[in-house]
Chain A
Amino acid sequence: MVAIVDYGITKFGKRKESIFELAKEATEKLLKYEIDYVIVSNSYSGEFNEMSGISSLLTTYLNLDTVSSLRVDITSGSGGSAILVAKSLLEAKEANTVLVLGVEKMSEKKTREVTKIISTLLPAEERIASLPSLASLSAIEYMKRFNAPRESIAQVAVKKSL
């Protein structure tokens, strides 16, 4: 079995800091450990931040230049899959102390551009739909099939704001 032994987190929202500065803020108190593998969970650094090889760029920025790293991207499932990869590396004894770092900097692009970029997770011939419109389709079908009141769906957001 493996276990999480420490963590770091930034405030979320529209941040003025770069993707590197956000990563540094989240990892600041974790770099005292002898990290020997870095797994970066990130989906859109190419599209949102115009960069490639983000895991290497991040290890360099964090002064972990010689530490192996890789990026895990399966859109919304990236974080969970990054944990699975870290667990597998530890269990295979390929690594002893793994840093899993999730980071995304979305606000550099306009909403319209962000929506368009995210919709590229759909096959090319179906990109007429946006992800919000697919969620709407689910909501419409749900209300129709189960005779659910519109308010009951919005209650989820009410609960989150409590």
Chain B
Amino acid sequence: MLNSPVISEPLTLYEFTPISDGATAIVIVRNEDVLSYTDKPVYIKGVGTSNYTSYVSEKGDFVTLPAVKEASKKAFRKAKVEKADFAELHDMATILEIIQSEDLGFLEKEKVGRL
């Protein structure tokens, strides 16, 4: 991994998602209609979104993503749950998955490097 070509010091080729083509699609319906489609629906209990400044110079802290914190807080609140058993995170670069895991409360800061 570390021997692959450096893309932007210190991160290397395999630490970034590739430029890629593809598509995915889902069909969503209201609760009352679900059973006429499937007996294995995936319920969407809560969705949260947020935003943060686009200015890099105004971000202040590069090891946290405030929009991730805020969006997840909203999603958990709407879904009325306190923790998740599974998460799929934005992984454009390896470091982002670590930072998001911490912002979501899945991992404690400082401990990550020791795992």
Q: Do A and B bind each other?
A: yes
Contact residues in A for B96 (Cβ distance below 8 Å)? 135, 138
CB pair B26–A4 under 8 Å, yes or no, is yes
Report which of B9, B26, B43, B62 forms a contact with A7, defined as CB distance below 8 A.
B26
With A83-B44, A86-B28, A154-B15 known as contacts, the answer to whether A5 contacts B56 (CB < 8 A) is no
Q: A13-B21, A81-B49 are in contact. List 12 more A-B contacts (CB 8 A).
A: A4-B42, A6-B38, A22-B23, A83-B44, A90-B28, A97-B27, A107-B20, A107-B21, A122-B56, A135-B96, A146-B63, A157-B15
For residue A27, which residue of chain B has the nearest CB? Answer: B25
**Least distance between A46 CB and chain B CB atoms (Å):** 16
B53-85 Cβ-contact flags toward A at 8 Å (1 or 0): 011110000110000000100000000000000
Q: How large is the interface on B (under 10, 10 to 19, 20 to 34, 35 or more residues)?
A: 35 or more
CB pair A152–B112 under 8 Å, yes or no, is yes
Report which of B2, B8, B110, B112 forms a contact with A133, defined as CB distance below 8 A.
B8
30 A-B interface contacts by CB (under 8 A)? A1-B44, A3-B31, A3-B41, A5-B29, A6-B27, A7-B26, A13-B22, A15-B22, A19-B23, A76-B90, A84-B49, A90-B29, A96-B33, A98-B27, A98-B29, A100-B25, A100-B26, A100-B28, A103-B24, A104-B21, A106-B20, A131-B92, A135-B95, A136-B11, A138-B62, A146-B112, A154-B2, A154-B12, A156-B98, A157-B94
The majority secondary structure among interface residues of chain B is mixed
Contact residues in B for A141 (Cβ distance below 8 Å)? 62-63
Please report the C-alpha to C-alpha distance between residue A9 and residue B33 in the assembled complex, in whole angstroms: 23
Report if A129 contacts B (CB, 8 A): yes
Please report the C-alpha to C-alpha distance between residue A87 and residue B55 in the assembled complex, in whole angstroms: 30
